Amino acid sequence: MGFAILSKTHIQRQFNAFFNCVVAGDTDGLISLLITTMNLPLLCTYLFSIFVLLATPGPVVALVTGTAARHGSRRAFNTVLGTHGASLVLIALAVLMLVGLVTISQLSLRIAALVGCLYIGYGAWRGLRTVPAQHVAPMQQGGIVQGFLVGFSNPKDILFFAALFPQFIAVTPHLSTSLLLLSLLWIAFDFCVMACYILAVRRWVNGVQQHQLAMVSQYLLLLMALVGAGYNLRELF
pLDDT, position 186: 92
Integer Cα distance of 232 and 216 in angstroms: 24
154: left (phi over 0), alpha (psi -120 to 50) or beta: beta
pLDDT, tens digit only, all 237 positions of the chain: 444 334 445 445 555 555 565 556 656 655 565 666 678 888 889 999 888 888 887 888 888 888 888 888 899 999 999 999 998 988 888 888 777 776 777 777 778 778 878 887 887 787 777 655 444 444 566 788 888 988 888 877 877 887 788 888 888 877 777 888 888 899 999 999 999 989 988 887 766 666 676 677 778 778 877 887 887 788 777
Phi, psi angle pair for 132, to nearest 5°: -85, 165
pTM (predicted TM-score): 0.69
Integer Cα distance of 99 and 104 in angstroms: 12
Integer Cα distance of 15 and 61 in angstroms: 39
pLDDT, position 208: 61
Tell which residue, 7, 103, 65, 30, has the closest CA to residue 220.
65
Angle of CA points 10, 31, 23, to nearest 5°: 75
Integer Cα distance of 138 and 190 in angstroms: 27
